[in-house]
Amino acid sequence: MQKRLLISVGLLSVAIIAIQLVLMQILSITQWYHFAYMVISVAMLGFGFSGTVLAIARQWFLDRAETVIPLLMILSGLTMALVIPVTQSLLGGFDMYLLFVDTSQVWLLIVTYLIYLIPFFLAALAIGLIFVKYVANIGTVYFANLIGSGLGGIVAIVFLWTYFPNQLPGFVALLPVAAGLLLITKKYRRAFAALSSLSIIIAVFFIARPVDLTVSEYKSISYTMDLPGAVVEDERVSPHGLVQVVSSDALRHAPGLSLAYTGEIPVRKAVFNNGEWFGPLVAWTREDTTHLMDYSTTALPFNTGYRENVLVINAGTGTDVSLALTHNAQNVAAVEPNIPVISMMMDEYAAEIDSLFHHPAVRVQTLEPRTYLKITREQYDLITMPTIDAFGGTAGLYALQEQYTLTREAFSEMWHRLSPDGMISITSWMDYPVRNPLKILATLMELLENEGVDSIEDHLVAIRSWGTVSFFVKRTPLTADEIDSIRQFCRTMFFDPVILPDLQEGERTHYNDIEDRSFFNYVDEILASDREQLFRDYDFHLRPASDNRPYFSQFLRWESLPHLRELFGDQAVPFLEVGYLVVAVTFIQIFVAAVVLILLPLFRIGFKGTGKMWTVLYFSGLGLGFMFIEIVLIQRFILYLGHPIYSAATVITALLICSGVGSYVSSRFQASPRILRRAAGIVAGFTLLYILILPFLLEWTIGLPLIVKGLLSFLIIAPPAFFMGMPFPLGLRYVSSRNESHVPWAWGINGCMSVVSTALATIIAVEFGFVVVMVCAAVAYGVAVVVNAGR
Amino acid sequence: MLRKAICILLLFPVLSFADDQNERERERERMVERQIVNRGIEHGPTIEAMRTVPRHLFVPDAQKRNAYNDSPLPIGHGQTISQPYIVAYMTEVIRPETDYRVLEIGAGSGYHAAVISKIVDEVYTIEIIPELGQSARERLARLGFDNVEVKIADGYHGWEEHAPFDAIVVTAAAEHIPPPLVEQLKDGGKMIIPVGSPFFTQQLTLVEKRGEEIRTRNLMPVRFVPFRRADD
């Protein structure tokens, strides 16, 4: 086996993974995360497509492999460098949000898909061709492929910390060109040199002069930039996203401010992450005795008692931290996982916020809040978090964002971190149709019931302004004095109590009336512990989220769609729950495309003959199973390692490198049905075992230092990953021994199903939870076992 | 014969213009009947104003044929002219009377100010985007809406020189209600304001000042359909 070939496969594999992550980041900036996911998923069908093309024209490609392989690699590098300039410059006007109102956008979307597909198709065709040509050494080639893919994740993350995302495709593009150069033959040396030089020049040009990214006009930064004198003052890149600081003469932030406030609202700079509102540079100084947010429903806990120890979850730019300091909190834990924003607040912008995060009472923790809750032993008088949902709703754009701070387990952990008089405070905008406040209330009710609280009504408060509603749960029953203070606060601020002991007739709507009072009926139904009925009848999903299904903002119920269409009209529905709809549409597109791509080669290799069903089932099982496990492991390690990026990097690297080793070792075994059965069976067994033991393993060791946890993660992932690397190369060798023409087809099937599995895993996780995704992974590997039984 | 033909040719633009005008009037009449009256707007002066103001002259040329559709339309700079029903509803809610002094925040194309100006004596409107403010000012002057004054400024501060106002109409969504606007509202005055993101669901909120107390009432949800900016 040539060393150069393995290095070349490795380099190309690094590029394929790195370009995926880079394009995801770019699309998350210009559009939304789920759109990014959709485009990349469809583009990844390039893998399935390459298998189809290879299966149909296998001999043609094999006859010219020495020339075609480096050519495909260099062309894939060239197209990687061009994909962003072409889509941004020529198709910059595309906007996901307009997809449902403007039919021309559908065509733009299709063209976008096709452009993104090209580099993936070319790269996959090169790898597929190498797999077919060197199938006897597939264990080693696949090893190089997996090691390269594993490193690709790390390379992308290093790049994302260093360069602006629009420069990165240029950098990544150099890798496939280098991979191609390693393999060029003497025959067309000049032509290859010319093509490589052109590719390198283009890549370097777009590194030096990257194209401007066109951000959707429906992202919050776009309409902020319409304000007079708006300028982006500062930008910072990282895998967390693109952080931008914007200033404008008309940028004032006082969400849900009481109408009792008569003072000035200062003009402040604002911070955006990937074009989405992140927070203002807070208007606060150490001498302040009142705070703008004292005139918001969130301020209630400071009016019912002294809060010495305060935990601010997702502290952002520090609004809630400064509110706590204004009320003389002595110990404020500010937990915010976005490291670049915290570093900007602590360095460049420290002077503008009176060194808020350097205040002696403040301790900054750059962690996932849930990780902090698991490791802290402190007791807090107040645990607070930022307002849920964006102002005016987000149309379900975050439906598929895992929100681990809003699960029943999160609230339970918060409850156990409360001091005897401590309170949890959570605020939401009043959305319409009402969803967020009802789900919060349902979650809090479940918390109080699960904690065995006797008289729930004495522990729960909700107050409402013209735009927001805040909920509070107190560890011990509310005292008469506290209830009086709450009423007094409401009167002063023109707020109304929604839930309060001894609520009087008319109190709920004294200052802020609502035309449609069904909101109060729903609140009462949830309070009356008769909420099962409401959960069943309501048009939106209101059941509390859990760590197994951490999708708090996922409200869509498929069975309600006809009724919602009737109420709001056809066009409105997508704007209620666009995020989940996008994934569902993606899944349907991918599934249809995958079926077509799998069936297409049969016209060439024939529908009849033995072993075809075996090939479909075996390689589909592997494609689905591998990705299901990868997706769930990434989710499971987020809380453990304290950050989605650490989790993704650790899991992808450990999984792929250990699978690579497994693949390498597999070359020592004979590719017989018995070995295939065993390899797939061991993976299925590990999957089932990990469903049971992984949560405990992670829970026991979560308090260890990060570096130790990183190492432990690797050790936990290594055993199943080692075996996960075996079934695919063994299967290809087995297929090759029976019918060589099935090899590219099997490669295509595996590619198609890997892509199907990403969308399918999300849908299963939303509907049934991660445990079921893991069970499905075991079943998928089980299929690979069953098809080899009796052979 | 030739002379006749020349006369017809010369008359053609005039006839075509007249036809166009008649067609727009018919569309407007249909709009008022179907979108305004049939949906429960009862305030006579509001209905009459909606019947009179030529909405098609307040939208970009490319949108003229859609001017009387049951939807908002893009007017550039990411802004929209509200759906006709919303304009009528927001006007009816403040119950404008002849001697009213009304402040509008967010002039946009000037259409809503024009509608209100048909009912009340004085309308003051503020637009933050200079290009929109300037064109609204010129359009309103050209069409003879003499009782509307346009200022290009940040509407947050209101218009102190003409305060207090009997009613304030805020057409742009706001995540907070600017204190100066509440301040500039007369005792007993009303302010109507859409609360929520301009691109998603909004609720129209009526703010009423009664002595020392300020009360609100969430009236109805409104959803503005997103549109590509006209200047794209």
Closest-approach residue (CA) in chain A for B228: A98
> Would the pLDDT of B15 be above 80?
no
Cα A238 to Cα A241, A242, A243, A301, A756: the distances in Å are 5, 7, 8, 36, 29
Q: How much is the pLDDT for B225?
A: 42
Closest-approach residue (CA) in chain B for A264: B179
> Which of A81, A86, A76 lies closest to A108, judged by CA?
A86
Tell me which residue in A254, A263, A512 faces B176 most closely, judged by beta carbons.
A254
Please give the Cα distance from A622 to A731 (Å, whole number).
10
Please give the Cα distance from B74 to A366 (Å, whole number).
43
Report the sign of the C-alpha dihedral through residues A722, A728, A730, A733, in that order. Answer: negative
Q: How much is the pLDDT for A187?
A: 84
DSSP H helices in chain B: 2-31, 44-52, 84-93, 111-117, 130-142, 179-183
Annotate A444-468 with DSSP letters as a single string: HHHHHHHTT-S-GGGTEEEEE-SSE
B128 neighbourhood in chain A, CB within 8 Å? 227-228, 250
A218 neighbourhood in chain B, CB within 8 Å? 199, 226
Answer yes or no: are the C-beta atoms of A429 and A467 closer than 8 Å.
Answer: yes
| Residue A99 three-state SS | coil
Tell me which residue in B200, B207, B229 faces A395 most closely, judged by beta carbons.
B200
C-beta atoms of B228 and A263 within 8 A: no
**Cβ atoms within 10 A of the Cβ of B149, count?**
17
Residues whose CB falls within 8 Å of the CB of residue A421, separated by 6 or more in sequence, listed in order: A305, A381, A474, A475, A476
Mean pLDDT confidence for B216-230: 59
Residue A439, amino acid:
K
Rounded to a whole number, what is the distance in Å from the CA of A446 to chain B's nearest CA?
Answer: 29
C-beta atoms of B200 and A392 within 8 A: yes
Q: How much is the pLDDT for B63?
A: 81
Rounded to a whole number, what is the distance in Å from the CA of A514 to chain B's nearest CA?
Answer: 5
pLDDT band at B224 (very low <50, low <70, confident <90, very high): very low
The residues of chain A scoring below 70 in pLDDT are 1, 34, 90-94, 96-103, 389-400, 568-578, 790-791
Q: How much is the pLDDT for B118?
A: 97
C-beta atoms of B179 and A261 within 8 A: yes
| Whether the predicted model's global pTM rises above the 0.95 cut | no
B214 neighbourhood in chain A, CB within 8 Å? 259-260, 494, 511
> Would the pLDDT of B226 be above 70?
no
Tell me which residue in B197, B221, B229 faces A217 most closely, judged by beta carbons.
B229
> Which of A417, A424, A413 lies closest to A380, judged by CA?
A417
Element (H, E) at A514: strand A512-514
A228 neighbourhood in chain B, CB within 8 Å? 128-130, 154
Residue B78, amino acid:
G
Answer yes or no: are the C-beta atoms of A142 and A728 closer than 8 Å.
Answer: yes
Cis bond before residue B164 (omega within 30° of 0): yes
Please give the Cα distance from A310 to A318 (Å, whole number).
13
Q: How much is the pLDDT for A580?
A: 79
Element (H, E) at A9: helix A3-30
List the catalytic residues of B. Answer: 82
Element (H, E) at A475: none
pLDDT tens for each residue of B21-55: 788 899 999 999 999 999 889 999 999 999 999 99
C-beta atoms of A222 and B219 within 8 A: no
Q: What are phi and psi of A297, to 5 degrees?
A: -65, -25
pLDDT tens for each residue of A712-738: 999 999 999 999 999 999 999 999 998
C-beta atoms of A252 and B173 within 8 A: no
B210 at A interface, C-beta within 8 A:
no
DSSP H helices in A435-530: 436-450, 480-493, 518-527
Answer yes or no: are the C-beta atoms of A378 and A309 closer than 8 Å.
Answer: yes
Cα B180 to Cα A346, B26, B151, B161, B176: the distances in Å are 34, 42, 16, 12, 12
What is the number of CB-based contacts under 8 A between chain A and chain B? 133
Report the sign of the C-alpha dihedral through residues A361, A364, A370, A376, in that order. Answer: negative
Closest-approach residue (CA) in chain A for B197: A392
